[in-house]
C-alpha cells in the first residue's frame, strides 16, 4: 500500500466560519461553491477568489458584502479589471492562483476548481501552508501525485476529494480500517456514445460530444467523459488518494449515475454511495471536513429508479481508459505526458481541428514518443508537460 493522501485528515473541526479560497471561481465548481457560501453565510466566507479571464462574471457573482482578494490569470483581463476599478485594492497585481493561495492570510480551505495541469502549483502551495484542500482539480494528482503526497505530509495539510466518484469512495471508507478494503470500484456514466458503434463514432459532431447524458460540466471535462479519459484520470487519482494499487481499482459503466462509486470489503460486502448527480453534495462534504450539513435539493426516489444497470467498459471503442491506466502503472512522468497530450487534443477537438476518434491516437503517440522517466520534482513535471504538448501539437497537425 502506498502512502495515502486520504489518511491525512484532521481529528478536530476547523473554526467557523471557514474562510475559502476559490480557484476557478467562474467555472462549474466555482459557481457551485459560491452558491454554498450563500446557503451557509454563518459557516462559510470568502477569503480569496481567482479567475483566468472572466472578471466581469466574477464581479456579478460576488455579493455586496463579499470583499475577497482577487487574482486574474490573464494579463490583458487583469489590466481591464484594474482600469475598471471594480475590485479596488483587492486585485493582486500580476498574481495567479498559486500566489493568491500564499497571499490569503486568513484562509483555512482552498477549493481548487481550476481545469487542467495549471492547478498543480496552487495545490502544492496550499499543501505547504497546511490548509484543507477540497480538490476538484484531478490533474494535480495525475500530473504530480507523488509531489502532492510529499507536500501534504510535510505541510500537515488535509486533502479531500470533490469528484463525485472519489467523494463516494471517501464516504464509504470513512471510519474503515485499510486492511478491511479489498477493491475500489469507480462508476462511469459511459458518456453520450456508450452504445455507439465504431462507424457511428467516426461521424460524431462536437455538439454531440458536449451533450452529456447526466452531468452538467465544463467543456473539457465533458469531452473527457465522452472519451472515458475522465475515468482513466480518476483511476490515477484514486490510486494516490487512497493508497490502493492499480490492480485493485475497477471501473464499471453505470448509465443512471445514481451509484457514484463502491468499495468491496475483504468479506465480500459492497458499500455504495448513492445520490442525485449534484456536485454540491461532494463539494460541501470536502469543504467542511466530512461533516453532514443540511443541504436542500431533491432526494432519490428509490422506488422510482427502476433497474440499476452496470456494464463493463469497452476499451476497444474507448481506448483512453486503457491508456490512462497504463500510464498510471508506468508511473514517473508517464501520467504527465498522458494529461498534457490529452489537453492539447481536447483543445483541438473543441476548436474543430481534430475528430473525436482521432483524440486517442494523439495521446498514444505522445506516450510512445516520450517514455516514462522518474518524476524528480515540479520542474521535471513542468518540463515534461512542455515537451508533451509540443509532441501532441505536432501529432494534431499531421
Q: CB–CB of 30/54 below 8 Å?
A: no
Burial 204-234 (b: 16+ CB within 10 A, else e): beeeebbebebbebeebbbbbbbbbbbbbbb
Which of 14-23, 93-102, 241-250, 279-288 has the least mean pLDDT? 93-102
Q: What is the count of structural domains for the chain?
A: 1
Q: CA–CA separation, 135 vs 273, rounded Å? A: 19
Q: What's the confidence (pLDDT) of residue 212?
A: 67
Q: What's the confidence (pLDDT) of residue 398?
A: 73
Of the chain, the percentage scoring pLDDT greater than 70 comes to 97
Residue 51 covered by a domain: yes
Residue 160 covered by a domain: yes
Grid cell 492539447 is found at: 344
Which of 198-207, 256-265, 299-308 has the least mean pLDDT? 299-308
SS3 of the chain: the string is CCCCHHHCCCCCCCCCCEEEEEECCCCHHHHHHHHHHHHCCCCEEEEEEEECCCHHHHHHHCCCCCCCEEEECCHHHHHHHHHHCCCHHHECCCCCHHHHHHHCCCCCEEEECCCCHHHHHHHHHHHHCCCEEEECCCHHHHHHHHHHHHHHHHHCCEEEECCHHHHHHHHHHCCCCHHHEEEEEEEECCCCCCCCCHHHHHCCCHHHHCCCCCCCCCHHHHHHHHHCHHHHHHHHHHHHHHCCCHHHEEEEECCCCCEEEEEEECCCCEEEEECCCCCHHHHHHHHCCCCCCCCCCCCCCHHHHCCCCCECCCCCCCCHHHHHHHHHHHCCCHHHHHHHHHHHHHHHHHCCCCCHHHHHHHHHHHHHHCCCCCCCCHHHHHHHHHHHHHHHHHHHHC
Q: CB–CB of 343/116 below 8 Å?
A: yes
Burial 106-121 (b: 16+ CB within 10 A, else e): ebbbbbbbbbbbbbbb
Residue 32's domain spans which residues?
5-166
Whether pTM > 0.75 for this model: the answer is yes
Beta carbons within 8 Å of 315's beta carbon, 6+ residues apart: 228, 321, 322
Residue 44 covered by a domain: yes
Each residue of 324-377: pLDDT tens digit? Answer: 999 999 999 999 999 999 999 999 999 999 999 999 999 999 999 999 999 999
Across all residues in the chain, what is the average pLDDT? 93
CA nearest to 111, candidates 177, 29, 229, 54:
29
Is 3 a residue whose pLDDT tops 60? Answer: no
Residue 128 covered by a domain: yes
Name the band, by pLDDT with cuts 50, 70 and 90, for residue 215.
low
Q: What's the confidence (pLDDT) of residue 213?
A: 67
- What cell does 35 get? 452558491
Residue 215 covered by a domain: no
Residue 24 covered by a domain: yes
Is 301 a residue whose pLDDT tops 70? Answer: yes
Residue 72 covered by a domain: yes
- What cell does 343 get? 489537453
Q: Count the neighbouring beta carbons within 10 Å of the beta carbon of residue 15.
A: 8
Q: What's the confidence (pLDDT) of residue 2?
A: 42
CA nearest to 349, candidates 240, 183, 210:
210
Q: What's the confidence (pLDDT) of residue 1?
A: 39
In the chain, the largest separation of any two C-alpha atoms, in whole Å, equals: 63
Each residue of 192-213: pLDDT tens digit? Answer: 999 999 999 999 999 999 886 6
Q: CB–CB of 295/285 below 8 Å?
A: no
Each residue of 116-142: pLDDT tens digit? Answer: 888 999 999 999 999 999 999 988 999
Q: CA–CA separation, 109 vs 19, rounded Å? A: 6
Residue 211 covered by a domain: no
Residue 151 is part of a domain; what is its CATH number? 3.40.50.720
Amino acid at each position: 500500500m502506498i502512502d495515502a493522501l486520504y489518511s491525512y485528515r484532521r481529528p478536530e473541526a476547523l473554526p467557523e466560519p471557514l474562510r475559502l479560497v476559490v480557484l476557478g471561481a467562474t467555472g462549474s465548481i466555482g459557481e457551485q461553491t459560491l452558491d454554498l457560501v450563500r446557503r451557509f453565510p454563518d459557516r462559510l466566507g470568502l477569503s480569496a477568489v481567482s479567475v483566468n479571464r472572466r472578471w466581469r462574471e466574477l464581479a456579478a457573482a460576488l455579493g455586496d458584502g463579499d470583499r475577497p482578494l482577487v487574482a486574474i490569470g490573464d494579463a490583458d483581463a487583469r489590466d481591464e479589471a484594474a482600469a475598471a476599478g471594480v475590485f479596488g485594492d483587492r486585485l493582486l497585481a500580476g498574481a495567479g492562483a498559486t500566489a493568491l493561495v500564499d497571499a490569503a492570510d486568513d484562509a483555512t480551505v482552498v477549493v481548487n476548481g481550476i481545469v487542467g495541469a495549471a492547478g498543480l502549483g496552487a495545490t502544492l502551495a496550499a499543501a505547504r501552508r497546511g490548509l484543507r484542500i477540497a480538490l476538484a482539480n484531478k490533474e494535480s494528482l495525475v500530473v504530480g501525485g507523488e509531489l502532492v503526497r510529499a507536500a501534504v505530509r510535510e505541510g500537515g495539510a488535509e486533502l479531500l476529494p470533490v469528484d463525485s466518484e472519489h467523494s463516494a469512495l471517501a464516504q464509504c471508507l470513512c471510519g474503515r480500517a485499510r486492511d478491511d478494503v479489498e477493491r475500489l470500484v469507480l462508476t462511469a456514466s459511459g458518456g453520450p456514445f456508450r452504445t455507439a458503434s465504431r462507424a457511428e463514432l467516426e461521424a460524431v459532431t462536437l455538439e454531440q460530444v458536449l451533450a452529456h447524458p447526466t452531468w452538467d460540466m465544463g467543456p473539457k471535462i465533458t469531452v473527457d467523459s465522452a472519451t472515458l479519459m475522465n475515468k482513466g484520470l480518476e483511476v490515477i487519482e484514486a490510486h494516490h488518494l487512497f493508497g490502493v494499487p492499480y490492480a485493485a481499482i475497477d471501473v464499471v459503466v453505470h448509465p443512471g449515475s445514481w451509484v457514484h462509486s463502491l468499495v468491496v470489503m475483504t468479506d465480500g460486502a459492497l458499500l455504495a454511495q448513492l445520490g442525485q448527480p449534484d456536485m454540491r453534495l461532494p463539494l460541501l462534504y470536502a469543504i467542511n471536513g466530512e461533516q453532514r450539513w443540511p443541504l436542500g435539493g431533491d432526494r432519490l426516489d428509490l422506488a422510482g429508479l427502476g433497474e440499476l444497470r452496470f456494464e463493463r467498459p469497452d476499451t476497444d471503442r474507448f481506448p483512453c481508459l486503457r491508456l490512462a491506466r497504463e500510464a498510471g502503472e508506468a508511473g514517473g512522468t508517464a501520467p504527465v505526458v498522458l494529461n498534457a497530450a490529452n489537453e492539447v487534443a481536447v483543445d483541438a477537438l473543441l476548436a474543430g481541428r481534430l475528430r473525436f476518434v482521432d483524440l486517442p491516437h494523439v495521446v498514444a503517440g505522445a506516450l510512445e514518443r516520450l517514455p516514462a522517466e522518474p518524476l524528480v520534482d515540479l520542474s521535471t513535471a513542468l518540463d515534461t508537460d512542455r515537451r508533451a504538448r509540443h509532441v501532441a501539437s505536432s501529432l494534431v497537425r499531421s
